[in-house]
Amino acid sequence: MKEHYRKLFLEMAIIVIAAVTIGVLWNFRLLCDAATGKLSDTKQQPVISATDGKSMTPAPLVLVRELFEKKEALFVDARESSVYSDGHIKGAISIPLGEFETRLKDLRAKTTLDSPLVLYCSGYGCHDSKSLGEKLMADGYRTILIYEGGYPEWKDAGLPVEGAKP
């Protein structure tokens, strides 16, 4: 019986180790970028180039803040207009998901398809920024970062906001 369980455990370990190895090899580049901080290091700009029009990149606060301070990206608020009016990241433009078609012209006027865009909404549970990112990618925008902490994290960090009631 003991031998049986030893063998079973060994089989489980082999399956898991094999799967993990394949996963690591398959995503080797992504993991290297994440490990070396390239995904969060704007000095080397790999996040900007890594998006490559194929996928959107989740961006942590530290990166988003640096892009904001260096004015290297345009911030896009994907929340409803009324929520935007109650407070948003300073300088962000409003493109609520439901008004995508009408607001796209404004965005086109301010940007090129290569302009880095940081999309955000109401934090980790909110998917509007990702959905908006998919639409923008379909429209040809190539450099899309999803700031998943969103407005709540930004505000909590004491970073510049506009329109917020005291």
Partner 1 sequence: MKPKTRQYILAALRIGLGSVFLYAGVLKISDPTAFAGSVAAYKILPYFMNYLVASTIPWVEAICGLLLIIGYRVKATSGIVAAMNMLFIVLLASTIIRGLDIDCGCFRQGGDKTSAWTAILRDILFLSVALTLFSARGERRFSTR
CB of 58 to partner 1, least distance (A): 4
Residue carrying the six token digits 């704007």: 42
Asked if 20 is part of the footprint of partner 1 (rule: CB under 8 A), the reply reads: yes
Chosen residue from 42, 57, 67, 76 binding partner 1 by CB under 8 A: 57
Any contact of residue 16 with partner 1 (CB under 8 A)? yes
- Candidate list 6, 15, 99, 156; residue touching partner 1; CB under 8 A: 15
For helices 28-35 and 2-26, the axis angle rounded to 10 degrees is 80
Q: Which two tokens stand for residue 47?
A: 């996040």
Residue 114 neighbours by CB under 8 Å, 6+ apart = 142, 143
**Beta partners for residue 146, in sequence order:** 58, 119
Give min distance, CB of 12 to partner 1, in A.
Answer: 5
In the complex with partner 1, the residue whose CB is nearer, 133 or 163, is 133
**Distance, CA of 135 to CA of 119 (rounded, Å):** 12
User: Which of 134, 139, 156, 162 forms a contact with partner 1 (CB under 8 A)?
Assistant: 134
Based on the shown chain and the rule CB under 8 A, indicate whether residue 95 belongs to the binding site for partner 1. Answer: no
**Using CA atoms, how far apart are residues 68 and 37, in angstroms rounded to an integer?**
18
Position 31 contacts partner 1 (CB under 8 A): yes
Is residue 56 at the binding interface for partner 1, with CB under 8 A as the rule? yes
For the chain, how are helix, strand and coil distributed in percent, rounded to 5?
A: 50, 15, 35
**Based on CB atoms, which residue is closest to partner 1, 87 or 152?**
152
**Selected range binding partner 1 among 78-86, 96-104, 105-113, 127-135, rule: CB under 8 A:** 127-135
* SS3 category, 37: coil
Cβ proximity to partner 1: between 3 and 109 the closer is 3
Determine contact, residues 145/73, Cβ cutoff 8 Å: yes
Stretch that binds partner 1, among 9-17, 78-86, 98-106, 156-164 (CB under 8 A): 9-17
